[in-house]
Amino acid sequence: MSRIFINYRRQDTEGYVGRLYDHLLKEFKPHEIFMDVQNIKPGGDFVQALEDAVSECDIFLAVIGPHWLTVTNDAGERRLDEWNDYVRIEIELALQYEKIVIPVLVGGANVPAPVHLPDSIKNLSRRNGLTLTHTRFGTDVEDLINFLRDMLPTHPTFKRKADPAVIAEKTAKLKEVRQDLINAKDSPLYDYRVAQRYYPVLGEGNVDANIMFVGESPGEKEAVSGKPFIGPSGEILDEMLAGIDLKREDVFITNIVLDRAPENRDPNKVELEYYGKYLDRMIDIIQPRVIVTLGRFAMYYILRKFDLPEKKGTITKQHGMLIKTEAHYGDLHIMPMYHPAFVLYTASKKEVLQADFEKLTIFI
């Protein structure tokens, strides 16, 4: 995943950026550093491609050299003012997305004064810059790396396996939740469940999982068996998990709504509120470090639950983003993803979902 985005102007700082990249590689993996937007397909929307890349980063480094403000095109127009200048557009997006934006100053450059900047990026002047000097390049980059280490979301490894007593306790508590759900006569879908002889679908997997998946609601197959994600969406989920060497038993899989709704319709407000309480109990018991929301209903529920600013964003913008928050038991990351069913209808999204799953590997 591109956690660090390096924004630079080739004519201005290509050499410095090459050196910076080599130093960063000592600390970060290549896929954690994003430098150049490439492979925009013919007909592809380049602003969308830049937006996708910038929205995924955690920290945005704007590398500014001595000619950054003044480089011109063949017509003598300042590059920074060109309508399609990648450098300015990327900075606009980073400021818009409220990323951590750090001006990295090289070749004796200073943070540009607002008067020299296009209106859309004037706020860049207010960011404190970090200078990389020629003579102390290695040490200066070391300072930058220390800063990045502090600022980036933590890289938790798999939780240490809880001792058998804790696992037994968690299993017993989840059983209680299941029992409450079975007996929940006040649940909005209880009558339908009983009439259809369906099971409620609480969820399954590792009761002490690091990663918890929250889907939308059980389909017919799930309600008949009482197991989540065993239909066509489940096949996609299994494939995605296998792609990053995970098995169902490694994670916990559940839904935001725990009973099947008639005709697989979208969950309504009453159902989301009602079953949300059961999901909250499961989160409290399992205490995952990452909650992956599959589809917009789960995304909005979880982002609202933790009252995160992203609760207003769309899944198109936020899928694959690692959103850091605090649960009462410690650090928690939320990663919204598309629902596997969306991939069934829109095959081109499969690669997007795969790429988002890749990002989970930092938690494995």
- Nearest distance from C-beta of residue 303 to ligand URA, angstroms: 17
Residue ranges of E strands in 119-158: 130-131
- Nearest distance from C-beta of residue 214 to ligand URA, angstroms: 9
Q: Is 320 in the site for ligand URA (CB under 6 A)?
A: no
Of 140, 282, 146, 267, nearest to 202 by C-alpha is: 282
- Nearest distance from C-beta of residue 296 to ligand URA, angstroms: 11
Q: How many residues bind ligand URA (CB under 6 A)?
A: 13
User: Alpha-carbon dihedral of residues 72, 76, 81, 85, nearest 10 degrees?
Assistant: -50
131, 206, 210, 233: which one binds ligand URA (CB under 6 A): 233
Tell me if 130 sits within 8 A of 104, measured CB to CB: yes
Of 197, 178, 176, 208, nearest to 286 by C-alpha is: 208
- Nearest distance from C-beta of residue 323 to ligand URA, angstroms: 20
Q: Is 229 in the site for ligand URA (CB under 6 A)?
A: yes
Q: Which is nearer to ligand URA, 55 or 233 (CB)?
A: 233
Q: Which is nearer to ligand URA, 35 or 292 (CB)?
A: 292
Give the separation between CA 282 and CA 284, rounded to whole angstroms.
5
For 48, list phi and psi in degrees, rounded to 5: -60, -40
- Nearest distance from C-beta of residue 220 to ligand URA, angstroms: 9
Q: Which is nearer to ligand URA, 45 or 235 (CB)?
A: 235
- Nearest distance from C-beta of residue 216 to ligand URA, angstroms: 3
188, 200, 215, 276: which one binds ligand URA (CB under 6 A): 215
> Which residues are paired to 72 by β-bridges?
78
Tell me if 64 sits within 8 A of 13, measured CB to CB: yes
Q: Which is nearer to ligand URA, 228 or 276 (CB)?
A: 228
- Nearest distance from C-beta of residue 215 to ligand URA, angstroms: 3
7, 187, 206, 217: which one binds ligand URA (CB under 6 A): 217
Of 8-16, 35-43, 168-176, 213-221: span binding ligand URA (CB under 6 A): 213-221
Residue type at 130 in one-letter notation = L
Tell me if 240 sits within 8 A of 340, measured CB to CB: yes
Tell me if 206 sits within 8 A of 250, measured CB to CB: yes
- Nearest distance from C-beta of residue 219 to ligand URA, angstroms: 5
3-state SS assignment for residue 182 = helix
Of 48-56, 216-224, 308-316, 346-354: span binding ligand URA (CB under 6 A): 216-224
Tokens of 185: 């006569």
Of 117-125, 154-162, 211-219, 352-360: span binding ligand URA (CB under 6 A): 211-219
CA distances from 289 to 159, 193, 211, 212, 225 (A): 8, 32, 6, 8, 28
Site for ligand URA in 43-62 (CB under 6 A): none
Tell me if 205 sits within 8 A of 252, measured CB to CB: yes
Give the separation between CA 353 and CA 319, rounded to whole angstroms.
9
Q: Is 204 in the site for ligand URA (CB under 6 A)?
A: no
The set of residues, in sequence order, having a beta carbon less than 8 Å from that of 108 and lying 6+ positions away, is: 66
Give the separation between CA 82 and CA 101, rounded to whole angstroms.
22
Give the separation between CA 135 and CA 106, rounded to whole angstroms.
11
Of 50-58, 168-176, 210-218, 329-337: span binding ligand URA (CB under 6 A): 210-218
Q: Is 275 in the site for ligand URA (CB under 6 A)?
A: no
Of 28-36, 158-166, 209-217, 299-307: span binding ligand URA (CB under 6 A): 209-217
The site for ligand URA (CB under 6 A) is made up of 201, 215-219, 222, 228-229, 231, 233, 255, 341
